[in-house]
Structure 1
Amino acid sequence: MFRRHLLNNAELMPELVARLDLRSTEEDREREILTFYKKTGIDWASPFSVILTGDAAVGDGVKRHFLSMVMEKIQFGFDLDLESTGRTLLFNGTGDHKVPSTSRPLIDGDLFRVAGRAIGHSFIHGGPRFTGLSPAMLQLIVRSNEESAALELSDCPDTDVVDVVSIVIERRRTQMKQLRRGLKDSSVVTMIKERPALAEVLFPRSAEQVMDSQTILKRIIWPMPDSEDEDDHSNVEETCLVTGFLRDYIEKGSSQELQLLLKFWTGWSIPPLQLYAEVSPEITLPVASTCLTTLKLPLKCQNDQAFKENLEASVRSTEFGFGMI
């Protein structure tokens, strides 16, 4: 309801356009992403589209691909070497205890505000969420009284520890202020301020990332033979064989494999209400129409192992850009 309210209020705003050059390097594309989210005075609920230079693809599938890529980089890091460490991580930690990196350059670059805008923008448009944020960090975002603390530094007698902890606490406060400002820029902070319980919707736990086979299978619309098409009758057995291979792959797939498949199929790892599967004699490898949430499978496939290898080869193509998706 909150998202719908924001989107309805901004539906007449000028369209917000993100551009990515798929012919450039990964680092250059990351700079384009950061530049996009460093824009000020933007209503992030505005109608949104993505232009991929070097690829003719358009539509909702491209937007899903863009937001999925952005949130992966916020969650797991950028290839850009902003800290002279080979890779830039905005957040560190495992499970449900991810905390902001204490890097001074990230704070000076206001990158946590950029992260807040990206998180809010993805949420507004129904995209992936940031999972596993430490409950303590979440409280610093939601809580209005920033100065309240369960433990005072004066309670620690070790002056060396006090100095180090003081630096960390000060940076944490700065990071959370930036993140809160970014969420405020996207208007999302209003939701969690007025309804603190909804903070877990915006920042879900890691367990919610687990994907099971039934979540996908119950949404698939399987291909149906056309009784009036004579040529279709000769392909019914092969079609059933191929769709059986897909069902078997999904039933045996790990959570990570299923998330990658869903990302290839739809543009991100959020299962839609309906997924469509088609079998075509005109292709040799699986392809996807992400805008239509349709996975197209080649009719000719010798066995289950060959099907699995071909499907995984296509799924891995998402690592190299939008491409044929």
Structure 2
Amino acid sequence: MLLMLTVTILWLMWIPQICRNVPSAQMPFVLTSLKYMLPHVWQGWLTVTDPTKAISECADSFLRVHEMESPLLLSMDIRKSLAEQDMALISFYKRPNLEWGRPLNCQLEGDPAIGHGVNRFFFSTCMEKLRSGFCINFANSNHTRLFDGEPGHLVPSASHFLVESDMFMVAGRMIGHSFLHGGPCLQGLSRAVVHVLMGGSPETATVTLEDCPDLDIRGTISLLEGGSMLSEKDKQSVQELTYAWDLPPLTENNRRWLFDKLLIHAVIGRVMRQIKQLRRGLKETPLWTLATQRPDTVALLFPPETTGNISTGVLLQRITWPCEEDSDDDDCSVETRCRVSSYLLQFITNAKPTELTSLVKFWTGWEVLPPSLSVQVINGRHPTASTCFETIRIPGHYKDYTSFKNDILSCICTCQTGFGLV
């Protein structure tokens, strides 16, 4: 405790020295950085051995600093078009000078759901939009993707219009805000992009052909891989690309060098402005402090692409099944509870990874598995979920597994449009 107090005093004495030497134009950025760095003087996330625990403790420490401040309000009307819904998200994250550590109050107009489950829905929606694109008209396109490429190799879009519109600043804020509230991460970013995003040099990044999102450019660059003879047509394609990117022409001696240079530029060089803007958005949140102070957390903050990261065994271990003491299930017999519970058990055991992820998202509001989940058997028409209490409520009228499976599959699809819709 004495050591912590000493470090704190030295830290506070050091702040005025920092501020004296900073130009006034850069002062807001310095103050923001100091504000995010101060909490780790009192918290232990910097020295926690387990990186997963460090992530959780870091987020919690920053949320506690601002827990008494007025909440941020994020509202979206699901009765409106998809474009209007997406613009509500973008408008919220485009607001300047917000303290992202403040409490968050999300409202889903047109849906009866309230509470933390709605917050989870918003964060899950944000990460999904970053992966799949926004339904908005940017640059004469009705569907705008911020990241291009195949799963596991996403890179920022090369669109200059998106940079001018600060859309990658929006993306950085979304990622950092979701981290603060324990939400899902942005999966599937290219490892090369993550390396450069965290301050690494493009020349030291491990870039692969799969990282190149433009298939035509990828095909041209792949001609240089290996040592096979190139046709005149192939040489012409390579020459056109090298001229376009101000690189020297192909010779017998620079083939491998040219392959590396073209690939780095195709994946990283063309989107450096986008990466820098994404980094600026992250720096407005504590995620940047954590990632730079604890490099071992980067792989968890920017995980690889997964088709479904919910383990059947782990999910079953965390479920609290109905029992005789459940007062909420008094209208259903023990036999009914056992029958319906067995249907859910069968569904979970045989479900595909993507179906398990959708089930957890329907159950809790996002695709992050909580420590415990509850099941209730009730009188009703369709399965519903109380996401705030992480409880799924299943009607007891099912007499066969097929009808139960059809209904549960239909219901878990509604988590993309809200909680009260089937």
TM-score, normalised with respect to structure 2: 0.70
Note the alpha carbon deviations across 1:273-292, whole angstroms, 9 max, x for none. 000000002x1110110001
Contact 2:381 2:395 in 1 (8 A): yes
**Counterpart residue number, 2:69:** 13
Among 365, 369, 374, the alignment partner of 1:271 is 369
Paired AA for residue 374 in structure 2: Y
Q: How does 1:215-234 map to 2 (within 5 A)?
A: 215-226=314-325, 232=330
Q: How much is the aligned-residue C-alpha RMSD, in angstroms? A: 2.5
1:14 is displaced (CA, Å) by 1.7
User: Where does the alignment leave 5 or more consecutive residues of structure 2 unmatched?
Assistant: 1-56, 207-223, 225-237, 246-261
| 1:163–1:312 distance in 2 versus 1, CA, 3 Å | same
Pairing 1:182-197 to 2, within 5 Å after superposition: 182-197=281-296
Moved more, 112-121 or 168-177: 168-177
C-alpha separation in 2, matches of 1:175 and 1:4 = 29
Identity of aligned residues (%): 35
User: How many residues were matched structurally?
Assistant: 318
Separation in structure 2 between the aligned mates of residue 162 and residue 183 of structure 1, nearest angstrom: 35
Matched ranges for 1:269-308 at <5 A: 269-281=367-379, 283-308=380-405
Question: Is the contact made by 1:287 and 1:324 (CA closer than 8 Å) also made in structure 2?
Answer: no
Alignment match, 2:360 = 262
Post-superposition CA distance 1:144-170 (Å, at most 9, x none): x6576579xxxx995742533668755
Give the CA deviation at 1:192. Answer: 1.1
The answer for the alignment partner of 1:212 in structure 2 is 311
Q: Distance in 2 between matches of 1:3 and 1:234?
A: 42
Equivalent position SS for 1:179:
helix
Task: Tell me by how many angstroms 1:32 deviates.
Answer: 0.5
Q: 2:258 maps to what in 1? A: none
- Greater Cα radius of gyration, structure 1 or 2: 2
Q: What residue number does 1:54 align with?
A: 110
Alignment check: 8 A CA contact 2:112 2:420 kept:
no
| Per-residue deviation, 1:262 | 0.7
Q: 1:99 to 1:225 in 2, by over 3 A?
A: same
SS at structure 2 position matched to 1:128: coil
Relative distance call for 1:233 and 1:35 in structure 2 (3 A) is closer
Alpha-carbon spacing, 1:227–1:293, altered in 2? closer, same or farther (3 Å): closer
Partner of residue 277, structure 2: 178
Q: Distance in 1 between matches of 2:341 and 2:396?
A: 9
Partner amino acid for 1:222?
W
Separation of aligned partners in 1, 2:332 and 2:362:
29
Q: How far apart are residue 208 of structure 1 and its match?
A: 8.3
Contact 2:59 2:286 in 1 (8 A): no
Q: Which residue of 2 aligns with 1:142?
A: 198
Q: Does 1:315 align with 2:396?
A: no
Q: 1:116 to 1:226 in 2, by over 3 A?
A: same
Aligned match of 1:200:
299
SS at match of 1:205: coil
Q: Within 2, Cα distance between the matches of 1:137 and 1:234? A: 54
User: Residue 24 of structure 1 is aligned with which of 68, 76, 80?
Assistant: 80
> Could you give the per-residue CA deviations for residues 233-258 of structure 1, whole angstroms, max 9, x where no partner exists?
97111110000000000000000000
Equivalent residue, structure 1, for 2:124? 68
* 2:262 matches 1:163: no
Calculate the TM-score normalised by the size of structure 1.
0.90
